[in-house]
Amino acid sequence: MTATHDIVQKLWNLCNLLRDDGVTYMQYVTELTYLLFLKLLQEQDQEAMLPEGYRWDDLKQVGEPELIKFYKELLEMLGEDASQPKMQAIFLNAQSSIKKPTILKKLITNLDELNWYSAKEEGLGDLYEGLLQKNSEEKKSGAGQYFTPRPLIDSIVHLMRPQAGEIIQDPAAGTGGFLIQADQFIKANTDNLFELTAAGQEFQKSEAFCGMELVQDAHRLLLMNMMLHGIDGAGVKLGDTLSSEGKALGRSDVILTNPPFGTKKGGGLPSRDDFSFSTSNKQLAFLQHIYRSLKPGGRAAIVLPDNVLFEDGVGKLIRADLMDKCGLHTILRLPTGIFYAQGVKTNVLFLQRGLTEKGNTKAIWFYDMRTNMTNFGKRNPLNRSHFTEFESLYGMDANGLGKREDGGEESRWRCFSREEIAKRGDNLDISWLRDESLQSAADLPEPGEIAGEILGRLEIAIGEMKALQGLLEE
């Protein structure tokens, strides 16, 4: 077990302390990360961003009688300190639900005693990401909606191949998984990032990543997460992408995202006045934002539920507009059970914005990773190796436009021309593999055989009953 994994497990076990003090799963990870973040700033020698007197050692030295009062004062101070806008954004409106000073003292002591030396060797950002993942896996926490499975993110970023100098956006940023993995990919695949000009290095740190997150607690976790990975999160704003705020995100080279599922609260429409099609379906609204926000030649990978592929009416109009303005070249049909809602069926749409406004989709390649696949869950977790075949077939061209061969009707990999899709009414909910879990009528025995089997079993049962009756009479 790695030091990071060990610490993540110990941190999650502290949940029992908070639950004893009436703190719910929903509050837990945010409550713990206030303290964890303060400790990590000390470990990374970044406490200069905090006002003197409100740092980790100051908190550690306060006695129990005054501890709750001081801690709440610390949170309020950091949330109001305009001299440190990064800290202010993270701690804005931060409140503690801890009532017992003994619980808070024990949390502080336990955090202070963890093996931070080993954790720093492996990366404190990875430790924090591990805690967020642990929280997302706990169904009672309700955090799965903010956390896309790490193997899926890794595969998508690997195929999209973001480059230094590109603007990368996530308009539904959650806790920052896509943006952080894109940054790590760029660092690992740029020959020498430090050979970039000073302006280039500053761009990578402060301007390369942008986005928006609607939920304040998720946004504060995102800012902490990005900071601990060495990224300035100032470009990822707290706000509603589907309102006029979303227009401020501007044009991007790459968009990677997993928009929230469902409809606008109360069935209302997004308030964006630059969308061509009005809809209360959030995924269809996000889809419009995404393909309108790509620079010419820009590319995107979007996780979307099945209904986006087949919804009629405005859904059909948006799909037609998408296929005109972009080359929608690949759709990955994901297995069920990998997101927080077990029954949700999802896909990844890979697309590239065209240089013209018409006729950019010539054909769409589908990979069916759902039919006849194993059920994923805690006992059988999704891992990166499950994407190996798809990645090989997709090819290493970031635009997904490399040489490909249709595998035929028995393959998971098929190609459908734009003309074939038009004949289907632009319905992209296409499946062709026979589901082995559903026995076809041709495989069933004839009705006479079934009746004979039932009668035979009935005769055996009657015989056994008569024999039992005879024994009882004796």
Please give the Cα distance from 183 to 169 (Å, whole number). Answer: 12
* Residue 268 identity (one-letter amino acid): G
Q: Cβ of 162: how many Cβ atoms within 10 Å?
A: 24
Q: What is the pLDDT of residue 459?
A: 61
Q: Cβ of 75: how many Cβ atoms within 10 Å?
A: 18
Q: What is the pLDDT of residue 340?
A: 55
Q: Is 108 exposed, middle or buried (0-12, 13-18, 19+ CB in 10 A)?
A: buried
Residue that has been written with the tokens 């190796």 in this structure: 385
Q: Are strands 168-170 and 209-213 parallel, antiparallel or unpaired?
A: parallel
The list of the chain residues with pLDDT below 70 reads 1-4, 19-26, 120-124, 135-146, 194, 262-269, 340-342, 398, 400, 437-474
**161 phi-psi bin (left φ>0, alpha ψ -120 to 50, beta other):** left
**Percent of the chain residues past pLDDT 90, beyond the cut:** 47
Q: Are strands 209-213 and 236-238 parallel, antiparallel or unpaired?
A: parallel
* Residue 444 identity (one-letter amino acid): L
Q: What is the pLDDT of residue 403?
A: 78
> Helix, strand, or coil here: 197?
coil
- pTM to 2 decimals? 0.85
Coarse DSSP helix, strand, coil percentages of the chain, rounded to the nearest 5 percent: 50, 10, 35
Please give the Cα distance from 121 to 158 (Å, whole number). Answer: 25
